[in-house]
Amino acid sequence: MSKTLFDKVWDTHVVRKIEGGPDVLFIDRHLIHEVTSPVAFLGLKSRGITVLYPERTFATADHNTPTIDQHLPVADPLSANQLKALESNSNEYGISHWGLGHQKNGIVHVVGPEYGITQPGATIVCGDSHTSTHGAFGAIAFGIGTSEVEMVLSTQCIMQPKPKKMRINVNGKLGIGVTPKDVALFIISQLTTSGATGYFVEYAGDVFENMSMEGRMTVCNLSIEMGARGGMIAPDETTIEYVKGREFSPKGEAWDRALAYYKTLKTDPDAVFDKELVFDGSSIEPMITYGTNPGMGMGISHDIPDAAHAEGGAATYAKSLGYMGFSEGESMIGKKVDFVFVGSCTNGRIEDFRAFTSIVKGRHKAEDVTVWLVPGSHIVEAQIKEEGLLDILNEAGFTLRQPGCSACLAMNDDKIPAGKYAVSTSNRNFEGRQGPGSRTMLASPLVAAAAAVTGVVTDPRTLIEKVEELV
Amino acid sequence: MAYDKFNILTSTAVPLPIENVDTDQLIPARFLKATERVGFGDNLFRDWRYNPDNTPKKDFVLNNPVYSGKILVGGKNFGSGSSREHAAWSVYDYGFRCVVSSFFADIFRNNCLNIGVLPVQVSAEFSEKIFAAIFADPNTELEVNLPDQTITLLATGEKETFEISPYKKDNMLNGFDDIDYLQSIKPEIEQFALQLPL
């Protein structure tokens, strides 16, 4: 029978099917961080059970960590306690632990791929909804709750009903200034935040085929924002080139075997999806959100839709625009911006900083804007320096912070103050997401850069002089 | 963590007719710093429930003494966003045993089922009826019958059936969880692991 890419990976990992229930799914790689794992370890202790395969779990601290002065003790006692719990739990069970200060520390969804933990055709879970990022490699990767973290620790399995399958095809040539983030925000704006709930998505078409691994990770990362459990892209030469030789990638004979498996990972030509969508890539423009969920996005040159054209009820829509301080029919261009955040598991990779730098080069940070540039990992941080981007950034009035999740969810001190507006390259613009009362506009690193140098929402295409400067 | 068995729940309900209620509203990230499962009920809907100075916001439904009960009725696409199980813990620890909505986000629904909160998905029409009934009479009761998989507006007798897999239903009725099951098949899992491609 013809199978989709998703079927192939899923079926390979089903230990058993339960009549009238979920599948027992084996998990190849398990990533943990300080926030969603402590209660799972407590659960193990209270049940008197242990970790079955410690070598399949990897711990990194990211959600809670400061992004300046990481060499100093963490000031917030609650955060410090969580970081300590991750370390002691990892040590107790023999799990690799990349804590604060460790050279491999960084955002879980950035370091996983960088070190080759992420592999095509693997099943990967983490107590974090943006685990979907790893789908960029043709893995089945999705976020789980803490009860499931405990399941994976103790048995390397979780119990999941097999989701439905959706394929999203985007073909055509992307316009100037249109990045993978814009492609994802465009798709979410078309589907809404619940449009893919119950589905696992495969992204297909030449727009994704032509994307770098970093770009694919950005797209798959945002799958959850349209309700999908995850999204994946079939591995190709770009994928294999990226994976080969990384620290935890298979070596020697194991690599040959893995490679043979990777080559099987594509949807059969006559395989059937429960839902199939097609979009024209050339119609996408740089995107920005105007509301309080990632589905409330539009092309940056458009006006905020009126309630009649919005998804959901008028009351919910009015609440959302009221929170943002925006009105129906307004243009976003020229709106005041107080903060700019570049980073997160969505856009904290080297390409994102290259894109940001391409716009700010030769310009200067706008006076009243606070800009936080937070690399996703030490590797990204080092690349920014090695490629000379840091010098350009410094010259333009910007500084670099240290790796972590930072203002994406504002668990550390990187909080946007109440009422202030942030253009953010992260993934969620929910009420208070970036700090109580904060107002978030999601966008690409290019839109973030345009805001950073002008102090207002600006179409980055008006600042792009040389097309070849762009990624 | 063990939870109370669920059989038939008859209760008044708390209405929250807002769509796309996300997990950052259910429990903001800054309250996720605990290393034990304590205190989450106090911070359920923290920023909708309290002002920055920690005084209650009078217009939020959880601060309105007229509404109470063990059932939370939410708008469409309830629980979107993060995978934080803390959101489901907050709902449970506050005292809700059941959330009713015309549509649930996937991970939140799953987390609820894993910790003993029953997610009951109803039609959009029935959801409207429930909201109307509660607003007309806050003392109106709902009956959520897990064995029969029905939810009934007791005032009028109008009812709908809801979906739950036989496996999860059995778990909820008996207070079992998936870890109990997985532990019981561990030898099979270890055998399976030997033949994996990666």
Please check whether residue A44 is in contact with residue A153, taking contact to mean a CB–CB distance below 8 angstroms: yes
A26 contacts in chain B (CB < 8 Å)? 189, 192-193, 196
Whether A208 and A306 map to the same domain: the answer is no
So what's the ipTM on this one?
A: 0.96
Please check whether residue A304 is in contact with residue A329, taking contact to mean a CB–CB distance below 8 angstroms: yes
Q: Residue A49 and residue A52: Cα distance in Å, rounded? A: 9
Residue A63 lies in a domain: yes
Residue A251 lies in a domain: yes
pLDDT tops 60 at residue A451: yes
Size of interface A-B (CB pairs under 8 A): 212
User: Under an 8 A CB cutoff, do A47 and B111 touch?
Assistant: no
Residue of A nearest to B166 (CA): A20
pLDDT tops 70 at residue A470: no
Whether A255 and A366 map to the same domain: the answer is no
Please check whether residue A235 is in contact with residue A120, taking contact to mean a CB–CB distance below 8 angstroms: yes
Interface test with A, best of B85, B86, B190 (most A CBs within 10 A): B85
pLDDT tops 60 at residue A468: no
Whether A263 and A340 map to the same domain: the answer is no
Q: Residue A325 and residue A421: Cα distance in Å, rounded? A: 10
pLDDT tops 90 at residue A311: no
Residue A159 lies in a domain: yes
DSSP B48-104: HHB-TTS-B-TTSGGG-TT---SEEEE-SSBTBS---THHHHHHHHHT--EEEES-B
Q: Residue A147 and residue A159: Cα distance in Å, rounded? A: 11
Mean pLDDT of A249-270: 97
Residue B12 lies in a domain: yes
Q: Which of the listed residues A216, A241, A275 is the one where a domain comes to its end? A: A275
Residue B108 lies in a domain: yes
User: Under an 8 A CB cutoff, do B20 and A198 touch?
Assistant: no
Q: How confident is the model at residue A466 (pLDDT cuts 50, 70, 90)?
A: low
Mean pLDDT of A405-426: 98
B36 contacts in chain A (CB < 8 Å)? 38-39, 42
Residue B87 lies in a domain: yes
Q: At what angle do helices B106-115 and B166-174 cross, to 10 degrees?
A: 40
Please check whether residue A1 is in contact with residue B168, taking contact to mean a CB–CB distance below 8 angstroms: no
pTM (predicted TM-score): 0.97
Which of A85, A131, A156 is closest, CB to CB, to B193? Answer: A156
pLDDT tops 60 at residue A54: yes
Q: Domain of B111?
A: 8-193
Whether A213 and A238 map to the same domain: the answer is yes
User: Under an 8 A CB cutoff, do B35 and A15 touch?
Assistant: no
Which of B81, B103, B168 is closest, CB to CB, to A428? Answer: B81
List, for residues A365-400, the tens digit of each pLDDT value: 999 999 999 999 999 999 999 999 999 999 999 999
Whether A233 and A366 map to the same domain: the answer is no
Please check whether residue B192 is in contact with residue A26, taking contact to mean a CB–CB distance below 8 angstroms: yes
Residue with tokens 């972590």, as numbered in its chain: A404
List, for residues A4-34, the tens digit of each pLDDT value: 999 999 999 999 999 989 999 999 999 999 9
Mean pLDDT of A193-216: 98
Kindly report the number of other CB atoms within 10 A of residue A339's CB atom.
Answer: 25
Classified as helix, coil or strand, A171 is: strand
Alpha helices in A140-268 (DSSP H): 146-155, 180-191, 206-209, 213-221, 237-243, 252-262
Whether A453 and A352 map to the same domain: the answer is yes
Classified as helix, coil or strand, A174 is: coil
Residue A284 lies in a domain: no
Q: Residue A397 and residue A373: Cα distance in Å, rounded? A: 12
pLDDT for the residue A29: 98
Mean pLDDT of A240-244: 98
CATH number for position A212: 3.30.499.10
A20 contacts in chain B (CB < 8 Å)? 165-167
User: Under an 8 A CB cutoff, do A316 and B107 touch?
Assistant: no
Residue of B nearest to A405 (CA): B29
Residue B3 lies in a domain: no
pLDDT for the residue A469: 47
Total residue length of chain B: 198
Residue B90 lies in a domain: yes
pLDDT tops 80 at residue A457: yes
pLDDT tops 60 at residue B180: yes
B18 contacts in chain A (CB < 8 Å)? 315-316, 319
Q: Domain of A15?
A: 5-275
What's the mean pLDDT when you consider all of chain A? 96
B86 contacts in chain A (CB < 8 Å)? 36, 146
Q: How confident is the model at residue B189 (pLDDT cuts 50, 70, 90)?
A: very high
Residue A402 lies in a domain: yes
Residue A281 lies in a domain: no
Residue A114 token pair: 């960088």
DSSP, res A134: G
pLDDT for the residue A247: 97
Report the number of distinct structural domains present in chain A.
2
Q: How confident is the model at residue B3 (pLDDT cuts 50, 70, 90)?
A: confident
User: Under an 8 A CB cutoff, do A229 and B106 touch?
Assistant: yes
Give me the residues paired with residue A441 across strands.
Answer: A423
B3: burial class by Cβ within 10 Å (0-12, 13-18, 19+)? middle
Residue B38 lies in a domain: yes
Task: Compute CA distances A167 → A264, A273, A277, whole Å.
Answer: 18, 7, 6
Whether A190 and A300 map to the same domain: the answer is no
List, for residues A156-177, the tens digit of each pLDDT value: 999 999 999 999 999 999 999 9
Which of B166, B186, B192 is closest, CB to CB, to A20? Answer: B166
Whether A164 and A271 map to the same domain: the answer is yes
Residue B2 lies in a domain: no
Kindly report the number of other CB atoms within 10 A of residue A212's CB atom.
Answer: 16
Whether A316 and A377 map to the same domain: the answer is yes
Residue A31 lies in a domain: yes
Alpha helices in A54-145 (DSSP H): 77-93, 108-114
Please check whether residue A35 is in contact with residue B32, taking contact to mean a CB–CB distance below 8 angstroms: yes
Listed residue (A347, A458, A451, A370) closest to A416, CA to CA? A370
Whether A394 and A263 map to the same domain: the answer is no
Whether A9 and A53 map to the same domain: the answer is yes
Whether A249 and A296 map to the same domain: the answer is no
CATH number for position B123: 3.20.19.10
User: Under an 8 A CB cutoff, do B82 and A43 touch?
Assistant: no
Residue A280 lies in a domain: no
Report the number of distinct structural domains present in chain B.
1
Q: Residue A358 and residue A355: Cα distance in Å, rounded? A: 5
